[in-house]
Amino acid sequence: MKKLLLGLASIAMAFTLAACGSKTVATTSGGNITQDQYYSSLKDTSNGKQILQQMIINKVLEKQYGNKVSSKQVDKQYNSYKDQYGSQFKSVLQQNGMTTATLRSQIRSNLLLKEAVEDQDTITNKELDSAWKSYQPKVKVAQILVDKKDTAEKVISALNDKQSFASVAKKYSVDTATRDKGGVIPAFDNTNTTLDSTFKKAAFKLNKDEYTKTPVKTQYGYQVIKMLDKPAKGKMSDHTKELKEQIWNNDMNNSDKLHDIVAKVLKKGNVTIKDNDLKNVLDDYISTSQN
C-alpha cells in the first residue's frame, strides 16, 4: 500500500488542473485568485508538469486498456488493503492525505499500468529460465519466534527430544498471533514480500516434516522453522503462466522498464500538447520511444 500512497498525492492534485477558467478559487482583501491564475502558477513548477504527465498517462492507459480492468478487480485489491490494516485503515489513509476514492483511483491506475506491462513487455527465454530458478510453489510452515539465540537452541533441543512443535511453540514463542496455533503461518511462495528474506531462504531449504537445526536470525529475532507442506516444483513447462506473472510483477517495480512501456503507450496515444509553455512535458518519453 505504501507504493500506492506515494503516487497518490500527484493524482489528487491533478484534478485541480482539470477545469481552469475565470472562476474564483480564493478571495482575499488584496484581491481574488482565479483558476487561470492558479493554473498559470502551477504549470511552471516541476510538480505541475509531473501532474500533467500523470494525467496524460492515465488518459491513454484508460483508452487502451480500460476495458480490461473491471470494478471487481479494483474492489478486490481495495478490500485486501482494508483487511490488512483493519481498524487502522482510515487513519492510515488520513496520515497519507488520502480518501477511499483516491485510493480506488490509484488502484485502478496501477491495474491499467499492469495491463500495459503484460501487453508491451516481451519476455525472453532467459528471463523465464531465471524466474524458474527462484520459483517455489506455496509452502506451509510453522515457526517459533524467540528473542535470544540460546532460547532458540533450547527450542531445537526440545524438538530433538521429540516434543511436539505445537507444545514447544506454546511454551517458548513470543509471536502472540501464532503461538497458540502451533506456530502455523499463512502459506507463501517465492514472491512473498512480507516475510523476512532470510526466513524464506531457510524455509525453502527444508523438506516436509524437517525443521531448522540451527536458529535462523531474522529482523524479528531468532526463529525455528518447520516445513509442514512443500509441493513438488514440477516441470517448468507446467508453470509458464505463473512465471510470466512473476516477471510482470517484478517489472512493475522496475522504473526503467516502466518508463519504456509508458513511452510506447504514449506514442500510440497520439498526444498533442496545446499549451505552448508545456510543449516539452513529454520529451523524456518521446525521445525514448523514438530511439
pLDDT tens-place string over residues 211-269: 999 999 999 999 999 999 999 999 999 999 999 999 999 999 899 999 999 999 999 99
Q: Are residues 157 and 79 in the same domain?
A: no
Question: Does some domain include residue 114?
Answer: yes
Q: Are residues 72 and 158 in the same domain?
A: no
Question: Does some domain include residue 187?
Answer: yes
Q: Are residues 30 and 81 in the same domain?
A: yes
> How many domains does one find in the chain?
2
Q: Are residues 94 and 17 in the same domain?
A: yes
> What's residue 253's pLDDT?
87
Q: Are residues 161 and 192 in the same domain?
A: yes
pLDDT tens-place string over residues 241-254: 999 999 999 999 89
**Pick the residue with more confidence: 8 or 153?**
153
Residue 84: give the domain boundaries.
Answer: 2-120+254-290
Question: Does some domain include residue 199?
Answer: yes
pLDDT tens-place string over residues 5-62: 444 334 443 444 444 567 898 999 999 999 888 888 988 898 888 889 999 999 999 9
Task: Give the chain's largest Cα–Cα span.
Answer: 83
Question: Does some domain include residue 224?
Answer: yes
Q: Are residues 91 and 32 in the same domain?
A: yes
> What's residue 15's pLDDT?
43
Q: Are residues 166 and 223 in the same domain?
A: yes
CATH number at residue 193: 3.10.50.40
Q: Are residues 201 and 112 in the same domain?
A: no
Question: Does some domain include residue 26?
Answer: yes
> What's residue 287's pLDDT?
66
Question: Does some domain include residue 174?
Answer: yes
Q: Are residues 144 and 111 in the same domain?
A: no
Q: Are residues 149 and 72 in the same domain?
A: no
8 Å CB contact between 215 and 222: yes
Mean pLDDT (whole number) for 98-112: 93
What are the residues facing 142 on neighbouring strands?
Answer: 184, 226
Question: Does some domain include residue 246?
Answer: no
Question: Does some domain include residue 243?
Answer: no
Q: Are residues 24 and 98 in the same domain?
A: yes
Residue 2's pLDDT band, with cuts at 50, 70 and 90, is very low
Mean model confidence pLDDT for the chain = 89
Q: Are residues 113 and 170 in the same domain?
A: no
> What's residue 4's pLDDT?
45
